[in-house]
Amino acid sequence: MAWIHVPTLNLVLTVVGAGFILSIHSLYYIKVFFDEYHLPPSYLKVVQILFLVWNAVNDPMMGYMQDLGCCGMKWIMDRRKVVLYAGPVFAASFLLFWFPWSTSIGWVTALHLLVSLFIYDTLLTLVLSAYCGLCVENSRNHEDRVRVIVYGEIFTIIAGLLIFPLEMMPHSNEHYWLFQTCCVVVAGVSAALMAFSGYHLKVEKPVNEHHQLEKFQEGEENSAVKLKENTWKNAIQVSWQIAKEPRFICLVGAQFFKILRFMANENFLIVFTESLLVSSGFFEKNSSTLGLFYILARSCGSILFLFLWFPTNRFGTQAVIQSLNILSIFNVLFVLYAGMNNVTAVAVFIILENAISRCGWQGFYIVVAGEVVDTDMKQNNRKSPFSTIIFTLKALFNKPADQLAPVLILSLFLEKGGYPQLTVPCQNFYEDNFSNTTSFNSTSIETTTFSGYPSTEECSNYNQWMFLALAIFPAICAIGESIFVAIDQYWRRHVKGKTGHLGDD
C-alpha cells in the first residue's frame, strides 16, 4: 500500500474526526433550535451578534498562544498535544447543543445556544488552528499541500454519509432521543480519531534558512526575557505586519464570501429542500430518496474536488476557483430562467450549487494561506513560520461570516416570506391539498382558500422568497469572491514581474 502516504493519513484523521461533528452541527443546529426547542428568530439574531464579538477575541488569541506562547501555556505551542488532548474535549463540547435547557422559555433557549456556541467554537478554533498549522508546516510545497486537502476531501465524503441514517429516522418530538443517541456515538468516534491522530503525528516545523541571525544575536537569555516582557506588544506588531499584506487581504476577502455562501447552503439545505421540493411532492419526507438527495448534495463537492486535483496542481488554486465561480453564475442564470415551478430544475440547481460551494471551500484556501505563510516568512525575515497566527488572524475576519450567513438569509429573504411562522402551515397546505400532483403552480391557485390554512397568496409569497434566497444569495457571494481572487491574481503577477519569481509556487 505504498500509494498511501501514511504521515498525511495520520494528519488528516484529525479533520476526519472534526468533520463528523461539523457535518451534523452545521446542518442541524438551527433546525433543532427552531423546531425542537422553539427558539424565537429574534433571539437567534441577538445570539449571533454576541457570538461575533467572542469570535473577534477567540481566534487571534488562540493563534498568539500557539505561536508566541502567550499566557505561559507552553503545552499549547505543541500542535500535536493540542490535537491529542484538546481534540476529545472538542468532541464532547459538540454534545452541548443536543440536550435542551428549555423548550418553552425563549431567553433560556437563547442562553443555551449562546453558551454552547462559545464553548464549542473556542475548542474548534484551538484544534483546527493547530491542524491548519500542521498542514502548512508538515507540507513543504504546493503538491504536498494539495495532497493533504485531497485526503481530507475523500474522508469528507465518508462523513457526509452520516446524513442518510439521520434523515431516515423519525423526526417527531417523541423520537428526538434517537437523534441524541446518534450524536453521542458520533462524538465518541470523533474523539477517538483525534486522539489517535495526535498520538501518531510527527511534527517537523520548518526553519527559514535565510533568517538573518545577526539581527537577533543579543544572547539567548536576554532575547527570551525581552520576548516574555513584550509578548502582547510583539503580537500586535506581528498582526499589523500580516494584516496589511495585500495577499492576506485578498485571502480574507475571497474566503469571507466563500464562507457566507457555504454556511447559507449548509444551514438552510434542509429548509430549502423541504419548502421547494418536499412540499411540492417531488420528494417524500423521511424517504430514502430524500436521504440520498442530501448525501448527494453534501458529497458532490468533495467528489468534484478530486477531479480537480490535477488542474489545481497544474494551473493553481486561483484559476480553479475562478472557473468554479463562472460555473456558478451560469447555474444561477439556469434556475432563474427555469423558474420556481420547475422543481426538477430547482433540484438540479441545489445539487450543483452545493457541489460548487463545497468544493475545496476550506481546502483551496488552506493552500492559498500556505502561500501567504511562506511569503510572510520571507518578506519579514522570520526564523520560523507564524502559521497559526496567520490562520487565526484570517479567522478573526472570516469567522463572522459563519454567523452573518443565517442572519443575512433570514433578514434579506426568508423573514419577508414569513419564515419560520409559515413553514409548517404552508407545508401542510400543499401536502393535504395538492398531494396528488408532482409539482405545484402557485399562479394557478392564487384565489384558492382552505379553512384552517394560510392563504395561497401567503404560501406563494413564502416560496418565492425561499426561491430568491436559494438563487440570488449564492450569485452575490460568487461575484464578491471572484473580485478578490482577481485582485490576488493581479498582485501575484505584479510581484513576479518585479522579482522574477513568486516565491510560493
Q: pLDDT digits over 238-258, tens only? A: 778 888 888 899 999 999 999
Q: What is the pLDDT of residue 72?
A: 59
Is residue 225 exposed (0-12), middle (13-18) or buried (19+ Cβ within 10 Å)? exposed
- What pLDDT, on a 0 to 100 scale, did the predictor assign at position 224? 43
Q: Is 289 left (phi over 0), alpha (psi -120 to 50) or beta?
A: alpha
HSE (side-chain half, CA atoms, 13 Å) at 28: 24
3-state SS of 340-356? CCCHHHHHHHHHHHHHH
How many whole angstroms separate alpha carbon 36 and alpha carbon 182? 16
Q: What CA–CA distance (Å, rounded) separates 94 from 117?
A: 9
Most trustworthy range by pLDDT among 159-168, 213-222, 329-338: 329-338
Q: What is the mean pLDDT of residues 456-468?
A: 87
What's the alpha-carbon Rg for the chain, to the nearest Å?
24
What's the grid cell of residue 238? 506581528
The pLDDT of residue 97: 93
Lowest mean pLDDT among 126-140, 374-388, 487-501: 487-501
Residue 505 is predicted with a pLDDT of: 43
- 496 vs 111, 144, 305, 375, 490, CA distance in Å? 51, 23, 28, 12, 10
Please, what is the Cα angle at 145 between 144 and 151, to 5 degrees? 90
The pLDDT confidence band at residue 212, using thresholds 50, 70 and 90, is very low
| Cβ neighbour number for residue 382 with a 10 Å cutoff | 16
Dihedral in degrees, nearest 10, Cα atoms 283, 289, 295, 301: -70
CA torsion sign for 466, 472, 475, 476 is: negative
What is the average per-residue pLDDT within 197-210? 64
Does residue 439 have a pLDDT over 70? no
What confidence category does residue 89 fall into, taking pLDDT thresholds of 50, 70 and 90?
very high
438: helix, strand or coil: coil
Per-residue pLDDT at 18 exceeds 80 = yes
Percent of the chain at pLDDT above 70? 76
Picking from 89-98, 194-203, 316-325, 348-357, which range would have the lowest pLDDT averaged per residue?
Answer: 194-203
Mean per-residue pLDDT of the chain:
78
- Secondary structure of 7-24 in the HEC alphabet? HHHHHHHHHHHHHHHHHH
Among candidates 90, 97, 72, 74, which has minimal Cα distance to 126?
A: 90
Supply the angle between the helices 456-499 and 246-273 in degrees, to the nearest 10.
Answer: 160
The DSSP annotation for 269-286 comes to: HHHHHIIIIITTTSS-TT
Q: What is the pTM of this model?
A: 0.68
Distance CA(352)–CA(359), nearest Å, equals: 10
Which position has the higher pLDDT, 203 or 57? 57
Domain ranges (residues) in the chain: 7-203+233-493
User: What sign results for the dihedral spanned by CA atoms 179, 281, 292, 33?
Assistant: negative
pLDDT at 48 over 70: yes
Q: Which of 22-26, 383-387, 396-400, 459-463 has the highest mean pLDDT?
A: 459-463
Q: Which of residues 259 and 134 earns the better pLDDT score?
A: 259
Number of H helices, E strands in the chain: 20, 0
H or E element in which residue 470 lies? helix 456-499
Q: How confident is the model at residue 24 (pLDDT cuts 50, 70, 90)?
A: confident
Write the CB contacts of 146 (distance below 8 Å, at least 6 apart in sequence). 309, 312, 313, 367
Q: Are 477 and 261 in contact (CB under 8 A)?
A: yes
Name which of 94, 117, 113, 120 is nearest 37 in CA terms: 113
Grid cell for residue 450: 382552505
CATH architecture of 7-203+233-493: Up-down Bundle (1.20)
- Band the pLDDT of 148: cuts 50, 70, 90: confident
pLDDT for position 387: 73
Does residue 93 register a pLDDT over 70?
yes
C-alpha 171: how far from chain center: 25
Specify the pLDDT at position 173.
64
Q: Report the C-alpha gap between 370 and 145 in whole angstroms.
A: 8
Q: How confident is the model at residue 4 (pLDDT cuts 50, 70, 90)?
A: low
**What tens digit of pLDDT does each residue of 289-334 get?**
888 898 888 888 888 888 887 888 888 888 999 999 999 999 999 9
Q: What is the mean pLDDT of residues 348-365?
A: 89
- Indicate the angle between helix axes 41-68 and 387-398, nearest 10 degrees: 160
How far is the C-alpha of 41 from the C-alpha of 34, rounded, in Å?
8
Strand, helix or coil at 244? coil
